[in-house]
Structure 1
Amino acid sequence: MRPDATHPEIRVGTSGWHYRSWHGPFYPKDLKIKDFLSYYVGQFDTAEINNSFYRLPTEQAVRAWQKSVPEGFLFAWKASRFITHMKKLKDIEESINLVFGRMGGLGDTFGPVLFQLPPMLKANGETRERVARCLSLVPPDRRIAFEFRHPSWYEETTFRILHDHNAALCLSDHADAPAPWVTTADFVYVRGHGTNGRYAGSYSEETLQNWAHQIAEWRQKGRDVYVYFDNDIKSAAPGDARTLLRLLKDGQSLSAMSSR
């Protein structure tokens, strides 16, 4: 369900948490892999599930995620690549129903859903209509974001389609097609892919300070904000997430952040 519009929230986390390379830099060296999520939820109040993009999670896996996190935690998750990359948003009603039905097992931890389109899928009349059709198929009480990987999507017709369905343009800095920071919904969805190619490179504190200022402005305008760092190489993502949270808390009262 959507959060209380009278108290906009800011949530910051990472895209995934199950990275062996984070042993030491982020996770304690003696922490067992099965306990990664339990440790993670002590640091952040949201995470983006990535493996739902590659395969449909089992009902048992979804229930386990839901039971492993404290009250107030939210999982964002990526829609299946079968829908976005294989079907390219064509004839997807059955798949949408299956995926949303399965992920509904997240219960109160169900957060925004990210549809990431392939870089070869360009914007034209037909493909824009597919996006609109997709948005009409998802449950109306779910928050949806679209991450485009081709720059042709960044124009007013696309923005209007998203706005009409209260869907967010994913504000991604992916090298294939970095997005303009245009808001199209009552929430904002940001993905940081790194400064040194895909999934690599930490952000400078100056850059994250600029992000913090912009995030504060969005919140002041009544928008919830979700930020996920995808630069998992060399544990950059959790480090950047911690830094951004610190800057946000330094710049505003703790009441501006989500609470659990």
Structure 2
Amino acid sequence: MAARPVSGAGAIRVGIGGWTFEPWRGTFYPDKWPHKRELEYASRQLTAIEVNGTYYSGFKPETFAGWAKVAPDDFVFALKASRFCTNRKVLADAGESIARFTGQGIVELGDKLGPILWQFMATKKFDAVDFAAFLKLLPASQDGVRLRHAVQVRHESFAVPEFVALCRDAGVAIVYAQSDDYPAIADISGDLVYARLETAVEDEPAGYSPVELDRWADAARVWAAGGQPDGLASVSDPAPVMPRDTFVFMISGAKVRNPAAAQALIARL
């Protein structure tokens, strides 16, 4: 069940990227656990999963419906949008690819459909006009199902107030990504918070030290209650305070530790 630590705060969901990773067999999954039942197990240990496979290829509606059937109530899938939407020179031309992605059957997830993650290459630079055009292409709904969007940018040129203003006007969340490889932008936009923690280390059994996990638990509570956690770099004025559903994913770094990190954070919440 997603944590709601404060009355009136948004739900907090914590998860990992995907559910198929060989080193998790015997470390996260029990020994000899059937591979075909890994989603069943993972979705009962976590409260969300970010699906990476949708970045590389399309899926049939039956696949999304199958995932929804396996996962328990109140579990959420965040979907990484197709690379054909974001890995292009002119983002304003992405309309057809966006429509193809959102129309492939993702609505079969029903109320288990979480945010759509639009991830950009680290070499993609900020072009205000082109990015504004891209944001206007993101549909508010698909077949009557509301869609929520988050953008992950990884070039330092995006760390400007103009980018934040565009996302706030569009109601699109800016992903906060803790990474050693590119700048993090902690400014809040939209009605949700999407955080990707990407620096887990193998020397720590839970990927992060207890102090770090305590700090991220505190940050998640602040985000859910509508605030801005201290110590995270922002480039614009604070966003209005309002409850926001908060998604925290343990991604990359020492990937073998990601499930343990997510479980440790869930335990703190």
**TM-score (normalizing by structure 2):** 0.82
| Count of paired positions | 241
The reply to whether residue 14 of structure 1 matches residue 16 of structure 2 is yes
Q: Residues 106 and 232 of structure 1: is their aligned pair in 2 closer, same or farther, counting only changes over 3 Å? A: farther
One-letter code of the match for 2:124? L
Matches within 5 A, 1:72-151: 72-86=74-88, 89-102=91-104, 103-135=106-138, 137-139=139-141, 141-151=146-156
Secondary structure of the 2:15 match is strand
**TM-score (normalizing by structure 1):** 0.85
* Deviation for aligned residue 1:215: 1.3
* Deviation for aligned residue 1:7: 5.0
**RMSD (CA atoms):** 2.3
String of CA shifts for 1:14-54, please: whole Å, max 9, x gaps: 01111111011100111011110111121112111110000
* Deviation for aligned residue 1:87: 6.1
- Partners of 1:175 and 1:134 in 2: CA distance: 31
String of CA shifts for 1:196-242, please: whole Å, max 9, x gaps: 59xxx922221121111111112223121101111374521101101
One-letter code of the match for 2:217? A
- Partners of 2:156 and 2:39 in 1: CA distance: 35
* Sequence identity (%): 31
One-letter code of the match for 2:261? D
Matches within 5 A, 1:30-41: 30-41=32-43
Structure 1 alignment gaps of length 5 or more: 249-260
Structure 2 alignment gaps of length 5 or more: 227-242
- Partners of 1:72 and 1:142 in 2: CA distance: 17
Q: Is the 8 A contact 1:56 1:99 kept in 2?
A: yes
The reply to whether residue 163 of structure 1 matches residue 168 of structure 2 is yes
- Give the number of the structure whose residues are more often helix, by fraction: 1
Q: Residues 11 and 131 of structure 1: is their aligned pair in 2 closer, same or farther, counting only changes over 3 Å? A: same
Matches within 5 A, 1:229-248: 229-231=250-252, 233=254, 235-248=256-269
Q: Is the 8 A contact 1:63 1:106 kept in 2?
A: yes
Where in structure 1 do 4 or more consecutive aligned residues deviate above 3 Å? 4-7
Q: Residues 120 and 26 of structure 1: is their aligned pair in 2 closer, same or farther, counting only changes over 3 Å? A: same
- Partners of 1:88 and 1:50 in 2: CA distance: 23
